[in-house]
Amino acid sequence: MGEQQHVKFPQEVIDEYAALGVDLPALFSAGHLGNRMGVQILEASAERVVGTMPVEGNTQPYGLLHGGASAVLAETLGSVGSMLHGGVSRIAVGVDLNCTHHRGVRSGLVTGVATPVHRGRSTATYEIVITDEQDRRVCSARLTCMLREVTAKDAENVPGASA
């Protein structure tokens, strides 16, 4: 659950990070929380990030997909896109997330697609659309990340990063 072995990255991105000895699937994964929730990233570039998450195990007391689970999927996908936009010398830190929940889902898999709204030098904003298995919109989200230079402290936690 949550393994990132089949993420599709653009070749130029793979080459850029490989030259630094960075394991892209590990670096741009769903993280510890996303892994516990079963988030899988299927495709990742600065232009589009696609991921899935099971509804089972991520529900609220009424048996519906928890809004916080949708927020985790949205922030994960938008953050990955922001990190890829920022490149190897910057990290993305979420500063604003908003989610509108359109319909309840009780089972199956939801899919999120993050696309850029703004990609600047110091911030990146992504729209994330989450749909159910019938391609019905479950949630619309927007994430803004601040892009800041990697510091020595950051580099301690990122394989292959340099300050």
From the candidates 43, 75, 127, 133, give the one annotated as an active-site residue. Answer: 75
Is residue 91 within 8 A of residue 31, CB to CB? The reply is no
As beta bridge partners, residue 115 has 127
Distance of alpha carbon 122 from alpha carbon 53, whole angstroms: 29
Size of the chain in residues? 163
Would residue 75 show up in a list of annotated catalytic residues for this protein?
yes
- Percent of the chain as helix, strand, coil, to the nearest 5: 25, 35, 35
On whether the CB atoms of residues 111 and 50 are closer than 8 A, the answer is yes
Give the list of residues 6+ apart from residue 74 with CB closer than 8 angstroms, or none: 97, 99, 112, 114, 128, 130, 139, 141, 143
Question: Among all residues, which ones are annotated catalytic?
Answer: 75
